[in-house]
Amino acid sequence: MDFPQAFISAGAEYADIGHFVPAPFFRKKFTAEKTETAEIIIGSAGFYRLFLNGKDITKGFLAPYISNPDDIIYYDRYDVSGIINEGENIIAVLLGNGLQNNSGGAIWDFDKAPWRGAPSFALRLNMTDSDGNTTAIESDESFKVCDSPILFDDYRCGEYYDARLEISDFHTADFDDSGFKNAVNTSAPRGEKRLCTADPVRIYGELKPVSVTRCENGWLYDFGENNTGVCRLSVNAKAGQKITLRHGEWLNGGSLCLDNIRFAQQSDLQKDFVQKSEYICKDGNQTHTPSFIYNGFRYVLAEGITEEQANADLLTYLKISSLPDCAGKFACSDEVINKIQEAAVRSDISNFNYFPTDCPQREKNGWTADASLSAEQMLLNLYPEKCYKEWMRSIYKALSDKGQLPGIIPTGGWGYHWGNGPAWDNVIINLPYFRIGKNRKHAAYMISMGMRDNNGIHLFHAVLPEILRHPRTMLHISRINKRKLSISFNKDGVSLSDIKHADNQRRIGCCSTPAAKDIKPAACLCKDTKADKEPKEILYKALHPSITFLRAKGIIRATSPAVYPTGIFSASRSPASP
């Protein structure tokens, strides 16, 4: 694909904790003949929102992706055939910091990332008329730029917005932008240019508070569920009123407590920015949704509002994720197990904005061990195939010359010497295998892709000794070509041997506890393609070792063992979307 490469920005200055640089708003007025087809290709270092003739056409939150721009710079493509006017038009772009400038990630050295700088973007609009003639408009210094009302944004912290700075007719062709400065040409990011194929981050549900309670510092909103998203604020206010929203998941003595999502290494200023957003009101009724952040939370402490404003309509919880749709279903005769399944699925959905993360509130990092260990159950419950495939590209790019993988991906250099090791590095095997399933040829290709260096040299023997660097470590890669491949390491190097695999059945996730290690996989799912599409009733007794283990740990209540042989559970998974 011919990607636009003329990147522009508002300037070299970029924000930091305590040093605000407003998010830049760009616009370009142009005249078009009657068009038959039109498309926009846009890539950005940072996040963007894209507007055409006043319409927000952005694919979702946090566009285009979250990646190391030295490895991969992502683009999106939009069909805008029905939006271009004959005559004058306005195209506008709002930029957020994203990972391009992530001072909120200082714990993992993102503030020291070699690419850190002001956000930028490259754009091309291609228009074709009925005669086949093509006209292109590309980002350059003719774009006008001004400060937006977003005073500060960091997706690991929050967003500060001053509604008094809004320009109501910014998107109209008649607006006079002669007082704005021109955009600045800037260097293109060093990463490989790619079209993003991961599922977008979108709103999949809304919650209203189950309670609104007066507390010492304001009003506590309880939404009843811990999820990932943002709050839409709706308020009638006077200009200058400042509303502060602090998001958290834990109460201590009835008050919101953020200690569990702060770090001891953070300064007091950094701690104050954690999951905190501010909104300065304009006059009258107004509604606002943050653009470039997300939070993990159940509770919101609203400060600076009046008793009259403190009602259920003030805040609406917008739940967001790349994977909102469930593929699998599970139900059994023990409600505790059902609750565990429900909590697991909610955690999966909440921790998947483009790629799997460890938590949506404290770190928001793509820890590779978490992803590797959860891949099979994630694929049973959701549809992460496209996102896994895209994230594998970042995993491949993160391989060092020695074959090391960092513990988190993306990274700016942190995690190669701490926070990694065999349990983390095996994501390069488990993720493509579980993603592809029975398509063994494709699985082998995906694994091979992750095992080649930038010169195309196969790293299978070179990478694994570095990944599993302890002499007695052994990794079992299951069910590739219906075998187990045993990879053992000793002082003489790498020893590979095939172990015949008795079956190709997939075990239910909760059978994989230590107590179930000697149980044959009687409880199986998706043995063949046909069964993949049909619900299946399976004897609950196959889960007995896991249930015994959970009971011994006090996780579930004691129940007569006689219940288990007669109990049943049903499990199914719908086919993945194309």
How does pLDDT run across 404-455, given as a tens digit for each residue?
Answer: 899 999 999 999 998 888 888 889 888 887 776 544 445 554 544 444 444 4
**pLDDT number for residue 570:** 53
- Predicted model pTM: 0.80
Give the tokens for residue 358: 């460890």
pLDDT by residue (tens digit) across 381-395? 999 999 999 999 999
- How sure is the predictor about 456, in pLDDT bands with cuts at 50, 70 and 90? very low
- State the CB neighbour count (10 A cutoff) for residue 548: 16
User: Mean pLDDT score of the chain, rounded to an integer?
Assistant: 80
User: pLDDT, tens digit, for every residue of 132-183?
Assistant: 999 999 999 999 999 999 999 999 999 999 999 999 888 888 899 999 999 9
Instruction: Out of 46-50, 297-301, 452-456, 459-463, pick the least confident.
Output: 459-463
Range 106-135 burial, b when 16+ CB lie within 10 A, else e: bbbebbebebbbbbbbbbbbbbeeeeeeee
- CA neighbours within 13 Å on the CB side: how many for 508? 31
Please return the burial class of 460, using the count of CB atoms within 10 Å of its CB with bins 0-12, 13-18 and 19+. middle
532-544 pLDDT, tens digit per residue, is 333 232 223 333 3
Rg (C-alpha) for the chain, rounded Å, is: 26
Q: 253 pLDDT exceeds 60?
A: yes
Answer with the residue of higher pLDDT: 326 or 527: 326
Q: Contact, 44 vs 120, CB < 8 A?
A: yes
Query: Does residue 477 carry a pLDDT above 70?
Result: no
pLDDT digits (tens, 9 = 90+) for 175-208: 999 999 999 999 999 999 999 999 999 999 999 9
pLDDT at position 380 over 90: no
Contact in structure between 495 and 475 (CB atoms under 8 Å): no
Mean pLDDT of 321-330: 90
Rounded Cα gap, residues 472 and 452, in angstroms: 25
In 417-542, at which residue ranges do the beta strands (DSSP E only) sit? 474-480, 483-490, 493-500, 506-507, 524-525, 536-539
Burial of 560 (0-12, 13-18, 19+ CB in 10 A): exposed
Whether pLDDT at 467 is above 90: no
Tokens of 336: 């505790």
